[in-house]
Amino acid sequence: MIFKQYIFLFLLSVYTFSASAATPVPAPPKLAAKSFLLIDINSNAVLAQKNIDQSIEPASITKMMTAYVVYKELEAERLTLNELVRISEKSWRMEGSKMFVEVGSKVPVKELIRGLIIQSGNDASVALAEHIAGSETTFADYMNQYAKALGMSNTNYVNSTGWPHRQHKTTARDVAILAKALINEFPEHYKLYSEKSMTYNGIKQYNRNKLLWRDKSIDGIKTGHTDSAGYCLVASAKRGDMRLISVVLGTRSNKARTDQSQKLLDYGFRFYTSHTLYAAGKGLKDVRVWEGENENLALGLMKDLNVTIPRGQYKKLEASMDIDQTIVAPVKKGQELGRVHIKLLDDEIISMPLVALQSVSKGSLLQRAKDKFILMFE
């Protein structure tokens, strides 16, 4: 049995809006792309989309997962940044974009990562894959395992570079999942995606993400291009506390992918705003616990509750909580005991579990007997 309580979100000391009607939100821009997606990284709100589950060739966007695997290896201390990688003939012979490593040479992991991210070097990608897994084929197995763990259910990797292959596929939705993981799990490594150029072996090369020169709020992430995949760009920008990720796949030119991505990001920032309503681990409600060593228990959330809403509508948010009416010990920390619901104009936009923020063990025999007696008359 549950009971409901309401909380009204009028935090006027923090957010002040006029009493006039909320700003209308126009339809998202129509982009000349095979598929595209715009999300808020904090709330996961989808602000614009087209064919987000359509299977496409990822081209060099593949290297986002290559980098993710490398970061996982560094995190697990199975790899170090100063570790030397011997350049095989296969990696040296790779066509397409490259950082121009020399066959037989030994290159530090940190330099290959720069070549992988800034220059999108196919040679760097294969060299890292072979060093970590012994072969690029085995490394692709690693990539697919991580994709599955992240929930990228429509992705299959065959190589580490994005070289065309009919079984090498992903979707805009899956690419956005990976982009979010890169940013959230590896913020220090992510900083490299904003670097505009690199020099190796006496050759200076520039990042292919032209948005880095156009908009200071944009700090990544990855371009891709093959004849079959078209021109693709995964971009992310942060303005204030709001970070958006755009995925634009299958445009006709370098300029088109840049312009279309900029248009999509500007749309999101212009017409939407992001808010953290409740922080993880903060007590939202104290409840009575029966037959426990403690009578009171704080309920809260396991993670931040974030929402993305049209600008001018913050005062129209309404929160309510459904809480189990009778809570009997023992209670474990993290145990779900209700839910918090957020509505905007009578439409529920998000719901999250309310959980116990600490454990409560069974009370003494006397306490349990006393509470049982009281509950008989409740």
Where in the sequence numbering do the catalytic residues fall? 60, 63, 120
Q: Which of 105, 73, 100 is nearest to 88 (CA)?
A: 105
Helix boundaries (H) for 118-167: 122-133, 136-150
Q: Which of 122, 182, 119 is nearest to 147 (CA)?
A: 182
Q: Please give the Cα distance from 197 to 86 (Å, whole number).
A: 24
Q: Please give the Cα distance from 2 to 51 (Å, whole number).
A: 40
Report whether 249 contacts 56 (CB < 8 A).
yes
Q: 170: burial class by Cβ within 10 Å (0-12, 13-18, 19+)?
A: buried
Instruction: Annotate 125-152 with b (16+ C-beta within 10 A) or e (fewer).
Output: bbbbbbbbbeebeebbebbbebbeebeb
Helix boundaries (H) for 62-162: 63-75, 89-93, 109-117, 122-133, 136-150
Q: Which of 358, 323, 44 is nearest to 176 (CA)?
A: 44
Question: Token digits for 179?
Answer: 């982009």
Total Cβ atoms within 10 A of residue 377 = 5
Helix 136-150 and helix 122-133, axial crossing angle in degrees, nearest 10: 90
Q: Which residues pair with 233 in a beta bridge?
A: 223, 248
Report whether 127 contacts 87 (CB < 8 A).
yes
Strands 327-328 and 285-290: parallel
Question: Token digits for 315?
Answer: 């005062």
Q: Please give the Cα distance from 300 to 175 (Å, whole number).
A: 31
